[in-house]
Structure 1
Amino acid sequence: MKKKIPCVLLIDDNEADNFYHKIVIERSEFAEEVVSVTGGQEALEYLQLSLKGEKTSPDLIFLDINMPRMDGWEFLQAYAALEKPDNERIIVVMLSTSKNPDYVKKANEINEVSEFTSKPLTAEYLEELREKYFSK
C-alpha cells in the first residue's frame, strides 16, 4: 500500500469538477484529507488558517485558472505574498480545460507553480505526482 499524502486542496469554482476530482483522489487512496473550495479568496482564507494551525496545511494544491472574482493567476499573486515558513513547500498544480500554450508558458514562469495539466485529474496522473514529489 502506497503512503497517502496528508492533505490536498482543490480550488475550482466548478463544484462538479471538485466533486469528481475528490472521488478520483479518494479512490486512488492518494490523500488522507481532501479540502475543496470554490474560489481564490476562500482558498487564501483557508491557507491563512492553516498557517495559524487552525486547519490542515495542504501538501498539494490543484488550482483552476478560470474562476470569477479571483482567477488562478490572481490567487497565485496573493499566495506568493503570504508569509509562509521557509521549510514549507506546497506543490501547486494548475488545472485547465485547455492546453492553451500561453497558459502553459505563463505557469512555467511562476515559481509557485510546479506543474500544469489539463482536466480531469486521473489516477495515473496522481500516481505520477506521488512518485515525483512525495515518494521520499
Structure 2
Amino acid sequence: MKMKNIVLIDDSKMDNYISKFIIKESNLAENINIFSSPIEALEYLETLKNDHEKFPEVIFLDINMPDMDGFGFLDEYSKFSKDIIEETAVFMLTSSNDPKDIKRALEYPVVKKYFTKPFTIDFLNDLM
C-alpha cells in the first residue's frame, strides 16, 4: 500500500532522519514532509485543508516537544473539519512509555495507535 503524503512531527533531527529513511526504503509514501515544530505542522496542514489530494494520509507525532507538545497539536488538529481528520490516521511515535501518556493519547479519536521510538521496519509492518 503506497500513500501519497506522510507528515512527521518531531523535534529530534536524528529521529526524523531515521523515520524518513525507513519510510523511503519501504517505498511507503511518495512525499514525506517533516516538521520539528507542531505549530509549523499545523500551519502547513491549514494551507492544505481544502486540498484533499495533498492532505496527508498519515501523521506520525511525537509528544515531548518545545513550544507545543503533541497533545497541544492534537487539540488544535481536532478542530479541523471532520471529513479531513477522518481521512488521516495519526500515530503517536514517541519516547514516552508512560501509561498516562498512552491513555491520554488514545482518548483522542484521531489517534489510531501509540508506538514508542525508534521507528522500525516492524513498526511499519504493524501499520500494514
TM-score, scaled to structure 2: 0.91
Partner of 2:110: 112
The code of the aligned residue for 2:41 comes to A
The code of the aligned residue for 1:15 comes to K
> What is the CA–CA distance in structure 1 between the aligned matches of 2:85 and 2:5, rounded to whole Å?
17
Partner of 1:47: 45
The answer to which of 104-113 and 57-66 deviates more is: 104-113
Over the residues paired in the alignment, what is the CA RMSD in angstroms? 1.8
Mark the CA change 1:9 to 1:122 in structure 2 (over 3 Å): closer, same or farther: same
Partner of 2:29: 31
> What is the CA–CA distance in structure 2 between the aligned matches of 1:40 and 1:86, rounded to whole Å?
18
CA contact (8 A) 2:48 2:54 kept: yes
Q: Structure 1 vs Structure 2: percent identity of aligned residues?
A: 38
3-state SS, counterpart of residue 67 of structure 2: coil
Give the alignment of 1:1-136 within 5 angstroms: 3-53=1-51, 56-85=54-83, 88-130=86-128
CA contact (8 A) 2:63 2:96 kept: no
> What is the CA–CA distance in structure 1 between the aligned matches of 2:101 and 2:85, rounded to whole Å?
28
TM-score, scaled to structure 1: 0.86
Shift of 1:84: 4.7
Aligned length: 128
Shift of 1:25: 0.5
Mark the CA change 1:15 to 1:85 in structure 2 (over 3 Å): closer, same or farther: same
Which ranges of structure 2 fall in alignment gaps of 5 or more residues? Answer: none
Consecutive aligned runs of 4 or more in structure 1 exceeding 4 Å deviation: none
Once the two structures are superposed, residues 12-69 of structure 1 have per-residue CA deviations (whole angstroms, 9 ceiling, x without a partner) of 0111111110001001111111110111111111111111339821000000000000
> What is the CA–CA distance in structure 2 between the aligned matches of 1:86 and 1:10, rounded to whole Å?
17
Which ranges of structure 1 fall in alignment gaps of 5 or more residues? Answer: 131-136
> What is the CA–CA distance in structure 1 between the aligned matches of 2:109 and 2:85, rounded to whole Å?
15
Once the two structures are superposed, residues 70-94 of structure 1 have per-residue CA deviations (whole angstroms, 9 ceiling, x without a partner) of 1000000000012353684210001
> What is the CA–CA distance in structure 2 between the aligned matches of 1:21 and 1:87, rounded to whole Å?
22
